[in-house]
Structure 1
Amino acid sequence: MPENGKPIVTILFPEQHEQAAVALGRAFIHDPAFKAILPDITEPVARAEHLANLFRAQLGVERRTGQPVFGVVHDGRVIAAAVTEGVGHSGVLALIAAGLPQFPRLVRGVGWGGMIRAMNIVSVLAKHHPTEPHLYLQTLGVDPDFQGKGYGKALLARLALEARVRPEIAGVYLETGTEANVAFYSSNGYEVLGELYPIGVRQWRMYQRKRQGQG
């Protein structure tokens, strides 16, 4: 944390992705969608370890496709991360192709049943993006030991800046499966577009449109 008390958000380099995966694994222990993907792993530490493998695979795909990952570093360690996509959002088949080298890691993380459930969720969500060009916030998480300190808000502010400096971008879009997060994102300028229920798990679709005059 800098002297002015405001977190600094930076682009994470590939060598920092391991720390980001661990932080995200811990952040999503209680997330409803990931509970559905890993229904038989209930012990928190074990769940965090399996989820970290899933996020290692996700970050491997991000590295392969050149998509940016943003993060906050505290005392030399990544403690918060935002996994994003630009306007060229990949379809499910393209994601599978890009993620083939990561399949062994995914299977170790979530098993074959979890793989099928995860792909079902991704397939449903991918069909309901806004049609206008936008940035997509795939994942945002803060290590539980550092939550409530403004790190998530700082990541959202960085994404809003990324959208603001590009006139072709209409806003930032995301989904969340946690009701408390709906209030958090709403307080940061996001509106609810609707709800989806992939594999029976409630997901809120949320969008932060740029204000008139921005971009």
Structure 2
Amino acid sequence: MEVISLPAKKIPQAASVIGEAFLNEGFTKRMFNLRNKQSKYLFTKAMELKISIYNKLGQPMWVTIVDDQVVGVGVLKEYDQKKLPFKDILKCILPLIKLTPFLFRINYRNLNTLKRASEKPTCIESPHATLEALAVHPHHQGKGIGKLLIKKIHEEASKKDRISGIYLFTSDEKNKTLYEGLGYNIFQERNLDLITAYHMYYEFSSSS
């Protein structure tokens, strides 16, 4: 088992792992029904496009590899994300058009509540990075892969002087416990009828 920077050729595998891991993730399952085969396929393709764009932008992403297969993914968004060159924007148009049916699979009744729950608080220290995704394939959960990825993310992100810490949010109690055990603190908890969101922060200056 090893953690490496995400190679471009492994992007489809990484997107597939996110699709499998997010089947029961709190926000995702209230926004989409990923147990529907077509919805899951479109969600995975949307993740593949997003990861491909992040790869072109040089955003840091890591994967855990077992027997040459991606089993875990960590996606970090830096505060000073570059803009995508125009030629690459053009290349995204056709994939985006192909994803249009996904718009009809969103649970719009929950959209406003989920937006309120997930909106980033304005009180976070800047500059910081955002942990956009941490996913471990269900067949490999409980083996310490998530912790391994987080530790790698901390190690690499802490080398950048301009980043003071890492922000994330989650609605899952299991994930909240995992992050707390790795040094994240809850600085805002939002309890809504539909969901409870935990906004958490890992500060390098006091925790690394």
Q: Same fold (TM over 0.5)?
A: yes
Aligned-pair identity in percent equals 23
* 1:176-211 deviations in Å (ceiling 9; x for gaps): 121211001001110111134799543211111114
TM-score (norm 2): 0.80
Aligned equivalent of 1:80, options 72, 97, 103: 72
Deviates more, 1:197-206 or 1:144-153: 197-206
| 1:106/1:115 contact within 8 Å kept | no
Cα distance 1:168–1:42, how it changes in 2: closer, same or farther (>3 A)? closer
Matches of residues 1-215 of structure 1 in structure 2 within 5 Å?
1=1, 8-38=2-32, 41=33, 43=35, 48-88=40-80, 101=93, 102-108=95-101, 110-112=102-104, 114=106, 117=111, 121=115, 125-126=119-120, 128=122, 130-196=124-190, 200-212=194-206
Cα distance 1:69–1:115, how it changes in 2: closer, same or farther (>3 A)? farther
Q: Distance in 2 between matches of 1:173 and 1:100?
A: 28
Q: Distance in 2 between matches of 1:12 and 1:122?
A: 31
| 2:63/2:72 contact within 8 Å kept | yes
Cα distance 1:105–1:16, how it changes in 2: closer, same or farther (>3 A)? farther
Residues paired across the two proteins, number:
199
Cα distance 1:127–1:89, how it changes in 2: closer, same or farther (>3 A)? farther
| 1:57/1:105 contact within 8 Å kept | no
Cα distance 1:194–1:185, how it changes in 2: closer, same or farther (>3 A)? same
Displacement of 1:213 in angstroms is 9.0
Q: 2:86: which partner in 1?
A: none
Aligned residue type for 1:162: E
Q: Which runs of 5+ in 2 are unaligned?
A: 84-88
Q: Distance in 2 between matches of 1:107 and 1:129?
A: 35
Q: Distance in 1 between matches of 2:182 and 2:206?
A: 17
TM-score (norm 1): 0.77
| 1:61/1:98 contact within 8 Å kept | no
Q: Distance in 2 between matches of 1:207 and 1:90?
A: 23
Deviates more, 1:63-72 or 1:143-152: 63-72
| 2:129/2:163 contact within 8 Å kept | yes
Q: Distance in 2 between matches of 1:98 and 1:192?
A: 40
Aligned residue type for 1:136: T
Q: Determine helix, strand or coil for the equivalent of 1:35.
A: helix
Deviates more, 1:49-58 or 1:172-181: 49-58
* 1:107-140 deviations in Å (ceiling 9; x for gaps): 34x324629749x739952464723111211011
| 1:182/1:204 contact within 8 Å kept | yes
Compute the RMSD of aligned alpha carbons: 3.3
